[in-house]
Structure 1
Amino acid sequence: MKTWGIVLICCLLVGCSATPTTNVTDVSQRPIGLPNRLIIPDDFVPKDVRIVALGDSLTEGVGATNGGYVADVKEKLLQHKAVRSVTVTNFGKRGLRISQLDGVIKKHEQPMKEADMIFITIGGNDVMEIVRSHLFDLTYSLFAQKQKTFAQKLDDLIRTLRSLNKDATIVLIGLYNPFANSLQTIPEIDDVIAMWNKGSRDVLSRYERTIFVDVKDIFDDHDDLLYDDQFHPNEQGYALIAARVYEQLARGIKK
């Protein structure tokens, strides 16, 4: 049932990798066991894609009227000849932290088992919780300590998803920094976000068929990509996240 999901990514390798949507800085990459080239037979039948989206307000699409990055990725997939239909089940909810995702997964195990792709945005509210709880004694070392706890929970989360579905492509969208102007007490906040992302990338590197999508550079020095609340992306910001996600899917590699 899930093997076609690998075929889809292979097809995306052929159909899209030559024309990336955005510029991505190349980093160390590890193939996920897919062939470099794939010839699509004449009798190839387009497939139905099932996506489950988990996470916080970015998955919910707060700040956009069109459903955010999840809806944008769906539209991009529908334009590919290897895809006949895309079904999205979105469990995104504003304010969720990583400790709350386990309950979401347990409540909706069947969709997790049937998914061909699982999209996740999580971590922004965990960072905000640290800020709210330690507003007057924030330090880089405190964030580093909390990140280790977050990374362990993320590892548990991916392991749970893999126990339910060993074939789905799991896509985790990294954090960006909307705090540059609001957290003047922590001049290292940009380094904190980068450190947080590296920890999440390291967790995913231990699992097959996972993709970490770094979007931090998209929003660096681009307040015009934020919604009126200066925290969530606006529709243009979500569109750029979606382009990055689709590009990574097309590359068919782990980053």
Structure 2
Amino acid sequence: MIRFWLALLLLSPWLLWQAKRTRATTPRLPEAGGEPSGRSGDTGPALRLLVVGESTAAGVGVGDHQQGLAAHLAAQLSRRHGRTVLWRTVGVNGIRAAALIGHLPRAPETDVAIISLGVNDTTGLTRRRGYRHALTALIAELRRDKAELPVYLLAVPPMQRFTALPRPLRDLLGWRAQGLDRVQQDLARTLAGVHHLAYPPVEGKDLLAEDGYHPSEQGYALIARTVADDISMP
């Protein structure tokens, strides 16, 4: 980690210029519209799915939440297990892990929770210790009324593959993202009922929104297909 901060210090003027230029030239997409909840399937006992997080949970990159990650994941789980899935998503574009806890719904009736975070903590240079503390508090809050609630941590996206970002900015952010994802992997190893979900390669024009940064509907569908097999139904 010392190498990261040394590289940041040495390259800071160049990185600052790249960051400002990228922000100025990249389209800023809104959060998805429509109801942030829905239903998939109509058979078997209902599973209540909650997705919380940053822009991926907020549906940035699509026009309606029905096209976003939670809806596609609910459809995949319903199809695989022959059960009704009632889904809800709570996302805030640009949020960091420490701030998300204030946006959680009160006493949500949930059977499975998915947390999608890390990009804004990467760009905001959140330290690993702080990220771990924030995630631990978030998991505890989700489990306030159900201590055994299964919680899945979607991996921090591999930012070194974000072609909308120039080099060396994306390489340094990718390095940082990997460090935060190791925190998530460690939590999955040490906390009972917490699991880590790999993030698939979301690359190419069809899988990315117009900003070249967030997933398109096809991108969200790919993520859902990839992670659905690793989610156990309670």
| Counterpart code for 1:163 | R
* TM-score (normalizing by structure 1): 0.65
**Aligned runs of 1:171-182 on 2, under 5 Å?**
171-176=152-157, 177=159, 179-180=162-163, 182=165
**Aligned runs of 1:52-63 on 2, under 5 Å?**
52-63=50-61
Please report how far the alpha carbon of residue 72 of structure 1 lies from its aligned counterpart in structure 2 after TM superposition.
Answer: 0.6
Partner of 1:87: 86
For structure 1, list consecutive stretches of 5 or more residues without a partner in the other structure.
1-44, 131-142
**Aligned runs of 1:128-207 on 2, under 5 Å?**
128-130=123-125, 146-176=127-157, 177=159, 179-180=162-163, 182-186=165-169, 187-207=171-191
Q: CA RMSD in A?
A: 2.3
* CA deviation map 1:25-57 (0-9, x unaligned): xxxxxxxxxxxxxxxxxxxx9211111221111
Give distance in 2, aligned partners of 1:64 and 1:211.
Answer: 27
* CA deviation map 1:89-144 (0-9, x unaligned): 22112222112111123xx2321xx20011111121222233xxxxxxxxxxxx7x
Please report how far the alpha carbon of residue 189 of structure 1 lies from its aligned counterpart in structure 2 after TM superposition.
Answer: 3.2
* CA deviation map 1:149-189 (0-9, x unaligned): 11221122222323332232211111211545524244443
Please report how far the alpha carbon of residue 228 of structure 1 lies from its aligned counterpart in structure 2 after TM superposition.
Answer: 1.0
Give distance in 1, aligned partners of 2:51 and 2:113.
Answer: 6
Greater than 3 Å deviation, 4+ residue runs = 178-181, 185-189
Please report how far the alpha carbon of residue 75 of structure 1 lies from its aligned counterpart in structure 2 after TM superposition.
Answer: 0.9
Task: Figure out how many residues of one structure are paired with residues of the other and give that number.
Answer: 185
Partner of 2:39: none
Partner of 1:109: 106
For structure 2, list consecutive stretches of 5 or more residues without a partner in the other structure.
1-42
Partner of 1:51: 49
Partner secondary structure for residue 115 of structure 1: coil
In the superposition, relative to structure 1, how do residues 210 and 75 fare at CA in structure 2: closer, same or farther (>3 Å)? same
- Aligned identity (percent) is 24
Partner of 1:208: 192
- Answer whether contact 2:97 2:117 (CA < 8 A) is retained: yes
* TM-score (normalizing by structure 2): 0.70
Give distance in 2, aligned partners of 1:180 and 1:154.
Answer: 28
Partner of 1:124: 119
| Counterpart code for 2:210 | D
Larger RCO (CA under 8 A, 6+ residues apart): 1
Give distance in 1, aligned partners of 2:188 and 2:196.
Answer: 7
- Answer whether contact 2:187 2:194 (CA < 8 A) is retained: no
- Answer whether contact 1:179 1:189 (CA < 8 A) is retained: no
In the superposition, relative to structure 1, how do residues 194 and 180 fare at CA in structure 2: closer, same or farther (>3 Å)? farther
Give distance in 1, aligned partners of 2:163 and 2:82.
Answer: 41
Partner secondary structure for residue 51 of structure 2: strand
- Answer whether contact 2:44 2:82 (CA < 8 A) is retained: yes
- Answer whether contact 1:118 1:168 (CA < 8 A) is retained: yes
Give distance in 1, aligned partners of 2:148 and 2:50.
Answer: 13
Partner secondary structure for residue 229 of structure 1: coil
Partner secondary structure for residue 91 of structure 1: strand
Please report how far the alpha carbon of residue 247 of structure 1 lies from its aligned counterpart in structure 2 after TM superposition.
Answer: 1.4
Give distance in 2, aligned partners of 1:115 and 1:77.
Answer: 15
In the superposition, relative to structure 1, how do residues 181 and 63 fare at CA in structure 2: closer, same or farther (>3 Å)? closer
